[in-house]
Chains A and B, each alone.
Chain A
Amino acid sequence: MTTALFAQYLFAGITYGILYAIVAIGFNIIYNTTGIINFAQGEFVMLGGMIAITFNALFPLPVAIILAVMTTMLIGAAIEMIFIRWLDSPSVLRMIIITIGISILIRELALHIWGESVRALPYFQGNEISSVRILGTNISPQVLWVIGTCSVIVVCLSIFFKFTSLGREMRACSANRVAATLCGIDTKNMITFSFMLSAGIGALAGCVMSPITYTQYDGGTGMAIKGFTVAILGGLGNSMAAVAAGLLLGIIEAFSISVVPLAFQDAISISILLIILFIRPHGIFGRSDIARLKEF
């Protein structure tokens, strides 16, 4: 394999992987504060793209994206307040079903609002055929935008959780909700905030990826499954591990194409995931004692 070819597979893998990672981080943020896996996470990605495309008809691109992210955050908060806030320590299965229901609902509403046709935001720089040359291979500048934006999201999140009081309060919630309440942290608001945060991240990812992947009303489900896979692979709740797992999965997918038919790509990557799960039942980077704390 030549360097150029290797680089091309690598960049394709990183692009997939980092997007999976962003969705997985969205899963983790909500999981950490609530113990819930929000299966509507993929729909936030789709909504971000769709709303930005709609706003882009009226406003310049950056404004449209900011508005879309804010709108999606509001939708995230609304979902939490309407469906989740008032439930008294719901069981995990119940939450899985409710969030799956929400995801079906958002998807179908999107179909009836935006129709079935594909849409896309314009490329942030250049157009569909412009490319930059790196390591002897050509890649679209949008790929760099995706990688850059997602890296910034990851860094900002780490800073937020480590160094701001709001972030610390959220981490306190995730460590022990009862203790956090006793310390005077309003856990209910923390949960609402975690939904807003993960909706916003998902929406931003949906905007930067839209020129590459297009946005269609049912694009969220696939992202959610991949994101869930990555979150599990890394070990639930660990966002840094999700980034590593996302990149790993993306790169495996990209390179698997070079040896097996493309049609079996998903079957291969999922098989690898299952094998890893069987060997390490709590994810590659997860710790078994932590995994035991949060279960059904």
Chain B
Amino acid sequence: MKKMLRSVFWNIVALSTLTVMALFPFGAQAETIKIGAILAVTGPASFLGGPESRTLQMLVEEYNAAGGINGNKIELIIKDSGANPAKAISFAKQLIEEEKVFAILGPSTSGETMKIKKIMEQGKTILLSCAAAEVIVNPVAKYVFKTPQKDSHAVQKIYTTMNDLGIKKIAVLVGNTGFGKAGKGQLLKAAPEYGIDVVISEVYDKKSTDLSAVVAKLMAKKGIQAVVNWSIVPAQGILAKNMRQAGWDVPLFQSHGFGNIKYVQAGGAAAEGIIFPAGRLLVSDVLPDSNPQKSLLMKYKQDYENKFNEPASTFGGHAYDAFMILARAIEKAGTDREAVRDAIENMNGMVGTGGIFNFSPTDHNGLDIDAFAMLTVKDGKFVLYNK
């Protein structure tokens, strides 16, 4: 009897729920999830913000066409900060208080991210940053995560390769962006561990149009066996050209900021043989089928390239990961912000474009050193680097 009563009760509940849902098709069950994004779509970091914002728009369209996350439609609000921290601060406050967004994706640069870190903590809103610097997640702030791989891992990859090649004395060149600054710090810090001597380090302007004079300065230092260039700007290709034109053929290592085929195209023949660590997006077509990332990478690459008629870059991939991590967490934990935050923090084995994310309360980046593969440029294409 008790059993029957219970089933009648559940039947009534189910029926009435259905009725309510039929009467109020846009009721509580299908709320709209507002997601904010602060990206440098214009301005000096537009080569980051551009692909990032396009990727997000594509994903949101895709998700909404398929009915949203758990049936909740997504509303994406992209704010163009132009890489200006004051604007990023203003937008962060606006998105948190006014739009009451569920989470914020971006900003594109580390400087902006650091400025809004505290605001996110105070506003108790999740931030999934697309900027690289490790200070974003170290020390860990409760609501702040980031998707690009760790600089220190990239440095370890590079130095390991150098050890294999027997390189001891290197020159370090970085661009004056947040990315370059963070990279320089890691490169100088880790060098002694690997027995590598940084003979000289120089910082060039992010808008540099010619680096032949600094190449001359480096060449004048005797015994440099390799050059590491850590930047994210077009000057990466210019450096390669200037080195080769000056007839200097030491190996050139770049950072994961080189992950844009356009820099290879612009560098032309000079880009051949550049060695750099990067996520596997760039070499997705040559990955073995057994690689867990392969199908996802191929899909993102094809979708992006078909839609926007330009090659996919790892920068867009960072935004892709940020969105997918959030979407996965919402699928799992519903639309309660604290629950979603916990879900991200405990997420394991999340396959993304940047690698496989395993978050923990002490690691808000979630990627390990295997997120990187060493790549090189051959015949104008990215290929896996084999010694």
A residues neighboring B (CB under 8 Å)? 1-2, 5, 8-9, 11-13, 15-16, 108, 111, 115-120, 123, 127-131, 137-140, 209, 212-214, 216, 218-219, 222, 253-255, 257-258, 261-263, 265-266
Known contacts A261-B202, A262-B214; is-contact A128 B241 (Cβ 8 Å): yes
Q: List 6 A-B contacts (CB under 8 A).
A: A2-B220, A11-B212, A128-B245, A219-B209, A257-B214, A258-B220
Pair A257/B213 contact, Cβ less than 8 Å: yes
Which residue of the partner chain A has the closest CB to B207?
A: A222
Interface string of B186-218 (1 = CB under 8 A from A): 000000000000000011110101101111110
B234: interface (CB < 8 Å): yes
Pair A266/B209 contact, Cβ less than 8 Å: no
B residues neighboring A (CB under 8 Å)? 42-44, 46-47, 50, 176, 202-205, 207, 209-210, 212-217, 219-220, 234, 237-238, 240-241, 244-247, 262-263, 266-271, 310
Which residue of the partner chain B has the closest CB to A266?
A: B205
Collect the chain B residues with CB atoms within 8 Å of residue A116's CB.
42, 46-47, 50
Which residue of the partner chain B has the closest CB to A123?
A: B268
Pair A263/B204 contact, Cβ less than 8 Å: yes
Which residue of the partner chain A has the closest CB to B265?
A: A120
Contact of A253 among B46, B202, B213, B220 (CB under 8 A): B213
Distance, CA A222 to CA B310, complexed state (A):
27
Interface contacts beyond A9-B216, A253-B213, A258-B213: sample of 11 additional A-B pairs, CB < 8 Å, sorted by A:
A12-B210, A116-B42, A128-B245, A129-B244, A138-B245, A213-B238, A219-B209, A222-B209, A255-B213, A262-B203, A262-B217
Collect the chain B residues with CB atoms within 8 Å of residue A255's CB.
213
Pair B234/A8 contact, Cβ less than 8 Å: no
Known contacts A129-B241, A212-B210; is-contact A218 B204 (Cβ 8 Å): no
Distance, CA A238 to CA B266, complexed state (A):
36
Distance, CA A116 to CA B263, complexed state (A):
13
Pair B262/A8 contact, Cβ less than 8 Å: no
Pair A117/B216 contact, Cβ less than 8 Å: no
Collect the chain A residues with CB atoms within 8 Å of residue B205's CB.
263, 265-266
Pair A254/B213 contact, Cβ less than 8 Å: yes
Known contacts A12-B213, A213-B210, A219-B209; is-contact A128 B244 (Cβ 8 Å): yes
Collect the chain B residues with CB atoms within 8 Å of residue A209's CB.
209
Smallest CB–CB gap between B375 and chain A, Å?
19
Distance, CA A218 to CA B207, complexed state (A):
9
Collect the chain A residues with CB atoms within 8 Å of residue B241's CB.
128-129, 140, 212
Pair A118/B234 contact, Cβ less than 8 Å: yes
Distance, CA A49 to CA B42, complexed state (A):
20
Pair B268/A127 contact, Cβ less than 8 Å: yes
Pair A140/B245 contact, Cβ less than 8 Å: yes
Smallest CB–CB gap between B257 and chain A, Å?
13
Pair B217/A139 contact, Cβ less than 8 Å: no
